[in-house]
């Protein structure tokens, strides 16, 4: 199935910060169903409704605008190619979309880290490196690895709630709506998840 052209967020005049998503779960689910059948109009509408949120999450992880735009485009290409794999019984369309976006963004980070490590090895072989700089880079890499490891200690419901709230920028109410849970339940999941992260990371 040919992939439709995916425009970057700037083509729609989208702001850098994530905005509120338009469209209901039922609407997004139906658009995904139509996309699975190759409906390009459905893809365009799905993109229009969710581009702000996808770009916003990518920007939160990657910071860099250009990388975030590239990642958002990759996400929508993947969604177009895999729309038929979406299972509405496993979660909401937005949660599925945010999971894809987060994974893509993390892959970008890891790719950049690998490139940095290769450059560092080359530089070490050709010249004396500033030890403070190397120590700072290694420390940052270890911190990122620690966060990834500690996220793995959360329950599935805690992880999904924390991701939507802190990577997706959703409010408690929006997270509750997307996950079909009560607001107090979502608050409890996020609070318990953050406490577990702090304990794992040794943060007082």
Which tokens sit at 131? Answer: 């030890």
Percentage of the chain beyond pLDDT 90 is 35
Residues 6+ apart with CB under 8 A from 65: 16, 59
Residues 86-127 have pLDDT tens digits of 999 988 999 999 999 999 999 888 876 654 455 545 444 444
The pLDDT value given to residue 16: 38
**% of residues, the chain, pLDDT over 70:** 68
pLDDT band for position 171 (cuts 50, 70, 90): confident
Asked if the model's pLDDT at residue 204 lies above 80, the reply is: no
Helices then strands, each counted (H, E), the chain: 8, 0
Closest by Cα among 180, 184, 189, 188 to 161: 189
Q: Is the pLDDT of residue 179 over 90?
A: no
How many other C-beta atoms can be found within 10 angstroms of the C-beta atom of residue 118?
A: 10
Residue 25 above 70 pLDDT? Answer: yes
Confirm if 161 and 189 have CB atoms less than 8 A apart: yes
Confidence of residue 168 (pLDDT cuts 50, 70, 90): low
Cα gap 80→91, rounded to integer Å = 18
């Amino acid at each position: 199935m040919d992939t439709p052209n995916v425009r970057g967020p700037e083509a729609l005049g989208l702001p850098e910060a994530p905005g509120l998503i338009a469209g209901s779960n039922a609407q997004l689910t139906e658009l995904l169903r139509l996309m699975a059948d190759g409906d390009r109009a459905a893809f365009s509408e799905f993109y229009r409704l969710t581009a702000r949120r996808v770009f916003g999450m990518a920007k939160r992880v990657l910071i860099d605008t250009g990388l975030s735009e590239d990642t958002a485009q990759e996400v929508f290409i993947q969604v177009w190619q895999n729309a038929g794999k979406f299972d509405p019984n496993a979660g909401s369309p937005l949660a599925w979309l945010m999971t894809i976006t987060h994974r893509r963004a993390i892959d970008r980070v890891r790719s950049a880290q690998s490139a940095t490590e290769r450059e560092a090895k080359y530089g070490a072989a050709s010249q004396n490196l500033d030890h403070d700089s190397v120590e700072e880079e290694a420390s940052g890499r270890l911190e990122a690895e620690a966060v990834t490891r500690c996220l793995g200690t959360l329950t599935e419901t805690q992880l999904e709630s924390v991701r939507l709230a802190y990577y997706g920028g959703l409010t408690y109410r929006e997270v509750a709506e997307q996950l079909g849970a009560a607001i107090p339940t979502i608050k409890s999941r996020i609070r318990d998840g953050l406490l577990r992260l702090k304990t794992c990371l040794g943060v007082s």
